[in-house]
Amino acid sequence: MVVPEELKSTIPPPQLNATSWILRDQKSGWTIASDNAELRIEPASLSKLMTAFIVFEEMHNGNLLETDLVRISEKAWKTEGSRMFVKVNSKVSVEDLIKGLIVQSGNDAAVALAEHIAGSEEGFSELMNQSAKKLGLNGSQFRNSTGLPHEEHFSTARDLTELTRVLIDRFPEKYQLYSIKSFTYNKINQPNRNLLLWRDDAVDGVKTGHTKSAGYCLVGSAEKQGMRLIATVMGTDSKNYRAEAVHKLLNYGFAAYEGFLLYQKDQKVASADVYKGDISSVDAHLRNPLYVTVAKGRAKQMGASVELSTPLVAPIDENQTIGRLSLKFEGNEIGEYPLVPSKAVLAGGWFTNMFDSVRLLVQ
């Protein structure tokens, strides 16, 4: 969702010399500003965000441990581009490979992890595409785990930002790895290529990318006063400028906008009367927390209204929509969100059924 026009700041976003870019609030998911964000382009090493996402999912599902040892194939060892310098036929822990992937942007680490999880890099790329589909990344297609150039390997600034947003939300403890400034493996120390980690203490990630054809790219994220922003810049002409451009976007977002929580996930929004149920009423709430992003000073002009489905007759499933919450600005609707019951409602007994049948007739 894009920040509604009514809630946008009068301060214009910075003008950037980049192929495409986007600035998004991580918690609300709302886009603050963008340019060519849906353009399909080469993502270079930003592809490793998806590689890491799948690795984290495998760990979360219990299929992969940090202590697992991964045998380094000749293909992984020979992979060109940035490396963590693993040795062929050696065994490297998943923990070290993840750091090599994230901090050093090691292509060898990416291939080794891909082969370990899926048997081959080709099989792993199918997992990447399956995840992209589930996440709604409709502008992305992956053909390798590294981001090395391939005519059928592409993504968009919008998709990479959404992927980052979900990664931070689902794996906050793993996201902390993106703030590591350097990593030493095989007696070779390499710094994180994200220059913003040294320039701004609020910045704690995320990932750089570069090939000759893609240019210099960067996804950056920072948090201030409970608000987290993600800025993605694609196709710049230098590593210094990509850092400068992302920093400008982040500074703009924090200066011109504020984000806040309207409703928590399990917070009662309204109480709905129930007919023919084992209970006479049920609380209505949102499926997910509702965060909003507005220009500074506009929050006071916001409001909300609730419309419940009537009559509400049991049985009622816990995922059933029983109403809607309308988000409003100066009385005009700017967003609509479904309400669900706090718990399932079972059918009542014969007396309740008979009594409520009469109530429904005389309504």
* Domains of the chain, each with CATH number or no CATH: 5-260 (3.40.710.10), 264-361 (2.60.410.10)
Give dist(CA 246, CA 33) in Å, integer.
12
The pair of three-digit structure tokens given for residue 336, joined into one six-digit string = 């609509």
Catalytic residue among 48, 99, 174, 248: 48
Phi and psi, residue 31, nearest 5°: -85, 125
Q: Is 21 left (phi over 0), alpha (psi -120 to 50) or beta?
A: beta
Beta bridge partners of 183: 190
Q: Which residue has the tokens 């994180």?
A: 192
105 has catalytic annotation: yes
Looking only at the bridges linking them, the beta strands covering 203-211 and 188-191 are unpaired
> Angle 14-226-292 (CA atoms, 0-180°, nearest 5)?
70
Give dist(CA 39, CA 110) in Å, integer.
25
Beta bridge partners of 33: 23
Contact 106, 83 (CB under 8 A): yes
Phi and psi, residue 229, nearest 5°: -115, 150
Residue 363's pLDDT band (boundaries 50, 70, 90)? low
Higher-scoring residue by pLDDT: 167, 280:
167
Catalytic residue among 34, 105, 131, 221: 105
pLDDT (average), residues 286-314: 85
The pair of three-digit structure tokens given for residue 268, joined into one six-digit string = 């009662």
Q: Name residue 80's amino acid.
A: E
Which residues are within 8 A (CB) of 23 and not within 5 positions of it... i.e. 6 or more apart? 13, 31, 32, 33, 34, 229, 230, 231, 249, 250, 252, 253
The pair of three-digit structure tokens given for residue 273, joined into one six-digit string = 């009367």
342 has catalytic annotation: no
**DSSP code of residue 345:** B
Give dist(CA 226, CA 231) in Å, integer.
17
Measured CA distances, 346 to 5, 163, 279 (Å): 43, 39, 8
Alpha-carbon torsion 146, 151, 156, 162, what sign?
A: negative
Beta bridge partners of 206: 220
Beta bridge partners of 263: 290
Catalytic residue among 9, 20, 34, 45: 45
Higher-scoring residue by pLDDT: 235, 315:
235
Higher-scoring residue by pLDDT: 354, 114:
114
User: 315-318 long-range CB contacts below 8 Å, 24 or more apart?
Assistant: 315/277, 315/344, 315/345, 315/346, 315/347, 316/274, 316/277, 316/282, 316/341, 316/344, 316/345, 317/344, 318/343, 318/344
Residue 249's pLDDT band (boundaries 50, 70, 90)? very high
Average pLDDT of the chain to the nearest whole number? 92
Residue 69's pLDDT band (boundaries 50, 70, 90)? very high
Alpha-carbon torsion 267, 292, 196, 169, what sign?
A: positive
Residue 288: how many CA atoms within 13 Å on its side-chain side? 9
Measured CA distances, 360 to 256, 270, 314 (Å): 51, 21, 13
The pair of three-digit structure tokens given for residue 129, joined into one six-digit string = 């595409």
Helix and strand totals (H; E) in the chain: 10, 16
pLDDT (average), residues 71-80: 96
Contact 293, 28 (CB under 8 A): yes
The pair of three-digit structure tokens given for residue 356, joined into one six-digit string = 């409520």
Instruction: Note the pLDDT of residue 356.
Output: 46
Residue 346's pLDDT band (boundaries 50, 70, 90)? confident
Residue 134's pLDDT band (boundaries 50, 70, 90)? very high
28 has catalytic annotation: no
pLDDT (average), residues 43-62: 97
